[in-house]
Amino acid sequence: MTVKKPKSWVLRNQTLTWGSRTYLMGVLNVTPDSFSDGGQFNSLETAIAQARYLAKSGIDILDIGGQSTRPGAAQISLEEELARVIPVIKAIRSEPKAGLNLISISIDTTRAAVAQAAIEAGADLVNDISGGVFDPEMLATVAKLAAPIILMHMRGTPQTMQQLTDYEDLMGEISGFLAGQINRAMTAGVDPGLIAIDPGIGFAKTYEQNLAILHRLRELQKLGRPILVGPSRKSFIGWILDQPDPKQRVWGTAAACCGAIAGGADILRIHDGGEMRDVCRVADAIWRYQMGKEVGR
């Protein structure tokens, strides 16, 4: 049974109308150890500079995270995560240059306390890589905050996930997990119209499985939720290109983004704002073309 997708989300000063175009979520990791840009933006000054760059590049949502989720990443304390992300959110909300204070902000966290503090500081939605599993209070907290949430599929933790890649039915198991977490979120009081899903590219997936997800992404549309895909600079692209440096995977990322758009993705989580904005504009013109006009431009 296919569930009908909600028409839109209203985030701060913008409306995201699903199906009209692809929306971009720009990554802002305020961490010392993220796989691609760890240590680049973990001071307030460099974080704000990167936020300005991404905003000027045309991204729609700024995704701020203080806990690295690369394979093998160590868990930091709640206090450390709060100390990394909350000052950045507050600084962005008080920065009028280039309209930075009006940009939509996502908090990338698995902790309910961080989600609540971030929303109170000015974030607009929650991006939980555990799909609401790691913290039993997350779904009830999001419901109380009346905030949108993105539920991602993964297995295990960042320390163990790459040993948990055996699937009997890859897309069936991803879909089943996400359907279950959608139901748990609704049971906790989350508005069903404020739930998006993410198949978890790179999280407990082999290189080949990541490609299979992109190839079969449209199968997740039956869940009736906006779909986020995060292929940016991931190791499966480096595997294909024989490119160990994540920063040199920009055009491989562009190809993966095109594949995701062709498969019905609504949001792409990316590092390279300007380049991926151009990619999305052209890909949208191809795959969202209707009645002789570009949709949403």
Q: Which residues pair with 228 in a beta bridge?
A: 267
Residue 70 designated active-site = no
CA dist., res. 257 & res. 277, Å (int) = 10
Q: Of 5, 21, 111, 269, which one is the catalytic site residue? A: 269
- Neighbouring C-beta atoms of residue 97, cutoff 10 Å: 10
Kindly tell me the burial class for residue 280, based on how many C-beta atoms sit within 10 Å of its own C-beta (0-12, 13-18, 19 or more): buried
288 is catalytic: no
Helix (H, G, I), strand (E, B) or coil at 60: coil
Ranges of H-type helices in the chain: 44-57, 78-93, 112-121, 138-145, 170-187, 207-215, 235-241, 250-262, 273-287
Residue 243's contacts (CB-CB under 8 Å, 6 or more residues apart) are: 237, 249, 252
Q: Which residues are catalytic?
A: 234, 269
